[in-house]
Structure 1
């Protein structure tokens, strides 16, 4: 009788453990999907560019958006930059985030210098990757789709 109760109890415990593992897996997968979906937009050649040297240009319907950094991006150093927008467009927000490793969203505070130019600076943290890939996401007012500027840093 005692062996029967113990076996029956063990079987119920196994069922609870299996259910808990399935539930935990579903929650983790759901959270990863939520965290990985920054937005519904995917960069393409029309809305993104790779930093060549210390600058890049993106041809928009309204004109050319230009990003110029004072020097090549490096980790743990202040990097000043200028974003020049086509006439009539205004900057809404900007941030930088890691592509091949999660580094959080680094806010990019940009102040208007005139009607087309915005200036600011950023600082990138160090990570364990020898070559880190980054993306700068620039949101323009009244445009649903942001623009992306991609660049790398070396350890």
Structure 2
């Protein structure tokens, strides 16, 4: 099947336009930066949580605390048990761990309610990282007795142990 001259010219015209657009965007477009714009506010420094000593977040709905069970330590690729205590009547809706320093995926954490209605227990684990130290976020979604769902997070750090 032969292509007519008119059809060949149409194809060449479209290819020329696409090529010009590619060259323009590659060499003349605005530089793409991973850094935030200069007028944006810097991220606030977050206090690190030491789960072995226990951590508390103060909220208008009440205090939220997290603590390792006795004998546990947070190490990469090693399960650890974590107890979470919520304010009276609050319900834990979801929990997950994500990398704070770099994307390491989203690790769901399944907390089970204990007999004390305000306490939850979970076994969690974080992955190994190539850096000596790695910061992680334990992100929580909590439904207080009154009001809208609130999001809170504990930031913790681990050291590579091997």
Both structures adopt the same fold (TM-score exceeding 0.5): yes
Which residue of structure 2 aligns with residue 66 of structure 1?
65
* Cα contact 2:82–2:121 (8 A) shared by 1: yes
SS of residue matched to 2:20: helix
- Let me know the Cα RMSD of the aligned residues: 3.3
Which residue of structure 2 aligns with residue 76 of structure 1?
77
* Cα contact 1:130–1:154 (8 A) shared by 2: yes
Map 1:1-155 → 2, pairs under 5 A: 12=16, 14-18=19-23, 21=26, 50-52=48-50, 54=52, 55-70=54-69, 71-114=72-115, 115-141=117-143, 143-155=148-160
Task: State the Cα deviation string for residues 60-93 of structure 1 (Å, max 9, x = none).
Answer: 2232211011233110100101101111111000
* Cα contact 2:134–2:159 (8 A) shared by 1: yes
Q: Structure 1 residues 123 and 53 mapped into 2: Cα distance closer, same or farther (>3 Å)?
A: closer
Distance 2:51 2:82 in 1: 13
Distance 1:123 1:53 in 2: 13
Which runs of 5 or more structure 1 residues have no equivalent in the other structure? 1-7, 33-42
Aligned length, in residue pairs: 130
Shift of 1:58: 1.1
Shift of 1:51: 1.4
* Cα contact 1:57–1:65 (8 A) shared by 2: yes
Q: Structure 1 residues 44 and 139 mapped into 2: Cα distance closer, same or farther (>3 Å)?
A: farther
Q: Specify which structure has the higher proportion of helix.
A: 1
Give TM-score, length-normalised by structure 1: 0.70
Which runs of 5 or more structure 2 residues have no equivalent in the other structure? 1-11, 35-42
Distance 1:151 1:128 in 2: 17
Give TM-score, length-normalised by structure 2: 0.67
SS of residue matched to 1:81: strand
Look at both structures and tell me which one has the larger radius of gyration over its CA atoms: 2
